[in-house]
């Protein structure tokens, strides 16, 4: 079947289309060349005056796994049924279900989402939940950097090639798209009653620093040729003065590719009477001066949310500010995590400054190819608040209206009043489409070239950008119309994306012996089989 999308204003930075009027042609699941005779179209959709982009991509959103489900159990009042969709859809009225996650993303024009924290021992459950999320394609990032097997290798002086083999094996076992390091060595240090771990502090029992762990993993990712750089959750998240930790981590990258996650949470100075200030300017300058560094922001938006993290140190420290007053912190094999509900309040000095710091970073980092649109869902805000963030970035007057409403002291010391920049549609298309696809190594999406997957979002232009991006006029997933006029009209099965770098199979002997000695399962039960994913979970795995 051939479909013609006629006369839209196309924003496709990869092909240097910035509002150009034209047609997009779809044959089956992919974008195709226009035929010599337009009458060959089986279906023509007139999109004159509407805005057309590739489907959006979210590189960092906690949508599956043990911590997500613990949060659902902890906060049932936050995910009661909100509104029913078409009754034939499963769980159509369930809020914050796996199904609702897919519907909500699709309604905003998102077609690919990455779960950034898959604990390897929990990979089976994470993939089972990803498979239950309809419409969108998904991927996971495997957590390393606190796992005992890796730390033992580093302690014993293993060669980098052996570290590489272990990282590659982990990606095969977990079927993930890349690796993430969360406060390298921090979860391990927590088990020895440490409550803070700086970049150059030694991890108890293992005798190497957090910096050494991060560097070994980073080199492995580079040498294995994994497209997505090591995805880093820095030390000292949420602590005043931690901008210095972020700056040291950028230096530690030593020119090699590195992605820093939710940098708003490391953008904190410790100046002023309150001991809490913005470090956004220094952090933005360092990011701009180091082209090997990419970042996502983790924007804070006001309202109720829940913080979910594998950084057990941070979550344990934050338990006393839980709102409502209940929390979960746990540690287990090779990691841990915590769930702490929280309400960001505009009149609270710290919360208001967090909101401002994220926006300062968005506006000061003048390269949309290296800064990515996230709220670290749900830590800074639920992903359903994205339309509000689009509006804040695209409308200076709207930002200034908010500055008049937040804590006055925070507004006074913020740089926001002095920042005139407004994102345009082309920059939005780069930051949410073209750049994420490039960063993740997903060359078949993020653009509208012939041969690309026909993931397409169409929007009705509106002065209110929150309204515009909140409900897409039309969304195609794999060439199938799944959203019309802001509502899901068809539910389909997405795919799961992963990498499979080569490695020396000899390492499996050591890993198998380790499992037999220390784990409660066999190594072969730990590993995920693609055929199992397809036959049992209905999830098709795509290797890159």
pLDDT at 78: 72
In a domain, 402, yes or no: no
In a domain, 383, yes or no: no
For residue 195, what are the CA distances in angstroms to 183, 315, 318?
12, 10, 11
Q: Cβ(446)–Cβ(432) under 8 Å?
A: no
3-state secondary structure 28-44: CCEEECCCCCHHHCCEE
In a domain, 379, yes or no: no
pLDDT at 321: 94
pLDDT tens track for 483-521: 999 999 999 999 999 999 999 999 999 999 999 999 888
Cβ neighbors of 273 (< 8 A, separation 6 or more) are none
Closest CA to 435 of 372, 377, 386, 496: 372
pLDDT at 229: 98
pLDDT at 94: 52
In a domain, 154, yes or no: yes
Provide the residue range defining the domain that includes 439: 53-77+111-233+303-344+424-497
CA distance 187 to 353: 28
Cβ neighbors of 224 (< 8 A, separation 6 or more) are 164, 167, 168, 501, 502, 503
Cβ neighbors of 342 (< 8 A, separation 6 or more) are 304, 305, 306, 307, 318, 321, 322, 323
Closest CA to 240 of 317, 173, 311, 305: 317
Q: Which stretches of the chain score pLDDT less than 70?
A: 79-95, 333
> Got the DSSP string for 64-99?
SSHHHHHHHHH-GGGSS------TTSTTTT-TTSHH
In a domain, 72, yes or no: yes
Per the structure, the count of domains in the chain is 1
Tell the burial category of 192 from Cβ atoms under 10 Å away from its Cβ (0-12, 13-18, 19+): exposed
pLDDT at 95: 63
In a domain, 273, yes or no: no
In a domain, 156, yes or no: yes
3-state secondary structure 412-446: HHCCHHHCCCCCCHHHHHHHHHHHHHHHHCCCCCC
pLDDT at 330: 86
pLDDT at 90: 53
In a domain, 409, yes or no: no
pLDDT tens track for 520-532: 889 988 899 888 8
């Amino acid at each position: 079947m051939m479909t013609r999308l006629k006369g839209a204003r196309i924003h496709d930075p990869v092909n240097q289309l910035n509002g150009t009027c034209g047609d997009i042609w779809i044959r089956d699941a992919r974008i195709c060349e226009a035929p010599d005779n337009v009458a060959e179209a089986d279906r023509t959709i007139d999109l004159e005056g509407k805005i057309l982009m590739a489907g959006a991509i979210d590189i960092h959103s906690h949508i599956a796994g043990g911590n997500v489900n613990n949060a659902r159990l902890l906060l049932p009042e936050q995910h009661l049924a909100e509104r029913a969709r078409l009754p034939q859809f499963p769980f159509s009225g369930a809020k914050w279900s796996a199904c609702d996650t897919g519907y909500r993303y699709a309604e905003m024009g998102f077609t690919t989402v990455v779960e950034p924290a898959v604990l390897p021992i929990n990979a089976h459950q994470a993939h089972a939940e990803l498979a239950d999320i309809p419409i969108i394609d998904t991927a996971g990032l495997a957590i390393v950097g606190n796992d005992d097997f890796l730390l033992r290798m580093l302690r014993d002086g293993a060669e980098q090639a052996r570290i590489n083999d272990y990282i590659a094996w982990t990606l095969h076992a977990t079927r993930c798209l890349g690796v993430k390091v969360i406060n390298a060595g921090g979860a391990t240090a927590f088990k020895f009653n440490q409550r803070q771990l700086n970049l150059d502090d030694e991890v108890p029992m293992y005798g190497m620093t957090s910096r050494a762990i991060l560097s070994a993993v980073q080199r492995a990712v580079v040498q294995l040729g994994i497209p997505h750089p090591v995805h880093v959750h820095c030390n000292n998240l949420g602590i005043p003065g931690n901008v210095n930790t972020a700056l040291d981590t950028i230096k530690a990258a030593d020119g090699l590719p590195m992605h820093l996650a939710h940098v708003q949470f490391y953008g904190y100075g410790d100046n002023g009477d309150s001991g809490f200030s913005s470090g956004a300017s220094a952090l933005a300058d360092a990011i701009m001066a180091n082209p090997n560094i990419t970042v996502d922001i983790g924007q804070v938006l006001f309202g109720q949310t829940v913080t979910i993290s594998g950084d057990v140190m941070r979550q344990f420290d934050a338990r006393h500010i839980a709102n409502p007053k209940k929390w979960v912190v746990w540690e287990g094999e090779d990691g841990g995590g915590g769930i702490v509900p929280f309400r960001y309040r505009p009149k609270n000095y710290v919360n208001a400054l967090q909101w401002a710091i994220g926006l300062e970073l968005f506006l000061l980092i003048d390269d949309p190819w290296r800064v990515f649109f996230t709220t670290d869902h749900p830590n800074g805000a639920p992903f359903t608040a994205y339309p509000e963030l689009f509006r804040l970035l695209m409308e200076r007057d709207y930002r200034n209206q908010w500055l008049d409403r937040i804590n006055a002291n925070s507004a006074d010391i913020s740089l926001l009043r002095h920042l005139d920049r407004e994102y345009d549609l082309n920059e939005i298309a780069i930051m949410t489409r073209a750049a994420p696809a490039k960063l993740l190594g997903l060359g078949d999406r993020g653009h509208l070239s012939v041969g690309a997957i026909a993931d397409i979002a169409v929007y009705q232009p509106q002065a209110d950008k929150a309204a515009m991006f909140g409900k897409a006029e039309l969304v195609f997933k794999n060439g199938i119309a799944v959203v019309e006029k802001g509502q899901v009209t068809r539910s389909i099965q997405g795919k799961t994306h992963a990498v499979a770098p080569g490695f020396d199979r000899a390492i499996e002997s050591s890993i198998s012996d380790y499992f037999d000695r220390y784990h409660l399962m066999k190594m072969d039960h730990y590993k995920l089989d693609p055929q199992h994913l397809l036959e049992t979970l209905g999830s098709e795995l795509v290797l890159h």
